[in-house]
Amino acid sequence: MKKKTIRRTVLIGAVCAVFLPALWGCGSNASDSDYAGEEYDASYLTDEYASQLVADGAKTVTGTLEMSGSEENCTVTVHEKKIVRNDDYEKGYYIADRNKETVCSLSSDLGLAADVDGETVVLQTDEFIKYNSKNADSLYTVYLIGDTAELILPLNPDSSGGSEN
Q: What is the pLDDT of residue 89?
A: 93
Query: What is the helix (H) or strand (E) element at residue 77, kind and residue range?
Result: strand 74-85
How far is 11 from 27, CA to CA, in rounded Å? Answer: 27
List the pLDDT tens digit at each of the 165 positions of the chain: 566 677 766 667 665 555 544 444 443 333 333 434 446 789 999 999 999 999 999 999 999 999 998 778 889 999 999 999 999 999 999 999 999 999 999 998 888 999 988 899 999 988 999 999 999 999 999 999 999 999 999 998 887 654 555
118 dihedral zone (left: phi>0; alpha: psi -120 to 50; beta): left
Residue 116, C-beta contacts closer than 8 angstroms, at least 6 positions apart: 131
Task: Tell me the CA distances in angstroms from 118 to 66, 154, 155, 156, one per residue in order.
Answer: 22, 11, 11, 9
Domain extent listing, the chain: 42-154
Q: Is 53 helix (H, G, I), strand (E, B) or coil?
A: helix
How far is 30 from 109, CA to CA, in rounded Å? Answer: 11
Q: Model's pTM, two decimal places?
A: 0.72
